[in-house]
Amino acid sequence: MVAHRRRNWKQAISRFLLLDLLKGMIVTFKWQAPSKCYTVQYPKVRPRIGERFRGAPRLNRDPETGESLCIACNLCAVACPENLITVTEEVREYLDEASGKVKKKRFLADYLYDTSRCMFCGYCQDVCPTYAIELTQEFELAIYRRRAFAWTWEMLENGIDQPVYTR
């Protein structure tokens, strides 16, 4: 490393002329140009979020039929380190259109996702076989009531109401 204790005449002169201070001042002066501003005016301008961002959870629906993609396999609940996902299943009879027979199948009855304990590790979306549970790019999760941190099935599908900034 550099030996900084020894001082030569060059340093002495630079100290006499206050050059060490002036150099720093020039750097700070240079950055004042408005073109070098880094601020993003957040509520007005939305930041670009990475594609893989792990934000608010969402339970996806089949875009064609509008039914939930979740098959109530409970893998996400098992994969969650914090055990915050509660999947309730029910076995229902349904008419299989291909064969015309009445069959039994597991359906999703309720899905509870406690965002107050979530660490957004992404293990649930990693294990999901049908890409039903997904962590989206939505990052505004502040809520006024503590109870509302537990996201119900409906909230997971539709998202929560976010304040809209007009100005």
Partner 1 sequence: MEFVERIISNPVMMEYVWKPLVVILILLFIVLTLVAYLVYAERKVSAFIQARLGPMRVGPYGLLQPLADLIKLILKEDIIPAQGDRGIFKFAPILSVVCALVVLAVIPFGWGVATITDINIGLLFILSVSSVGILGIILGGWASNSKYPLLGALRSSAQMVSYEVAMALALVGPLMFAKSLSMTAIVEAQRTDHIWYLLYQPVAFLVFLVAGVAETNRTPFDLPEAEAELVAGFHTEYSGFRWSLYFLAEYTNMLISSAIAVTVFLGGWSFPFLDRLRPEHPGLFTLLSIFVFAVKVFVLIYMFMWFRWTFPRYRYDQLMDLGWKWMIPAALANILITGAIIMIGQETLGLTKVVGGEYGERLVVPGLAGKAYFIGMAWLVLVPMTWFILAMINRRSYDFNLRAQRQIRLPERPATEDVFGKV
Partner 2 sequence: MYQRDLGATEKGSPGIREMVLNMGPQHPATHGVLRIILKLDGETVVDLDCDIGYLHRGVEKICENRPYTHIEPYFDRLDYVAGVSNNLVYIEAVEKLAGIEVPPRAQYIRVILTELQRIASHLLWLGTHAMDIGAVTIFLYAFREREEVLNIFENYFGARLTTNALRIGGLFYDTYPGFEEQVREFCRIFPERLNEYETILNENRIWLGRTVGVGVLTAEEAKELSVTGPVLRGSGVKWDIRKAFPYEVYDELDWEVPVGENGDTYDRYLVRMEEMRQSRHIILQALDRLPQGPILGKVPKMIRPPVGEVYHSIESPKGELGVYLVSNGTSFPERLRIRPPSQINLQALRKMAIGHMVADVIALIGSIDIVLGEVDR
Residue 156: strand, helix, or coil:
helix
Contact 150, 116 (CB under 8 A): yes
Q: Which of 143, 135, 136, 137 is nearest to 163 (CA)?
A: 143
Min dist CB 3 to partner 2, Å, is: 7
Q: Could you list the residues that contact partner 1 (CB under 8 A)?
A: 5, 7, 16, 21, 24-25, 27-29, 31-32, 34, 36-39, 41
Min dist CB 34 to partner 2, Å, is: 15
What are the tokens at 2? 């550099």
Q: Could you list the residues that contact partner 2 (CB under 8 A)?
A: 1-5, 11, 14-15, 20-21, 23-24, 27-28, 31, 38, 49-54, 79, 81, 119-123, 126, 135
DSSP class of residue 97 equals: T
Q: Which of 111, 109, 118 is nearest to 136 (CA)?
A: 118
Q: Closer to partner 2 by CB, 60 or 152: give it.
A: 60
Out of partner 1, partner 2, none, what residue 16 binds, judged by CB under 5 to 8 A for its kind, is partner 1
Contact 96, 141 (CB under 8 A): no
Min dist CB 74 to partner 1, Å, is: 47
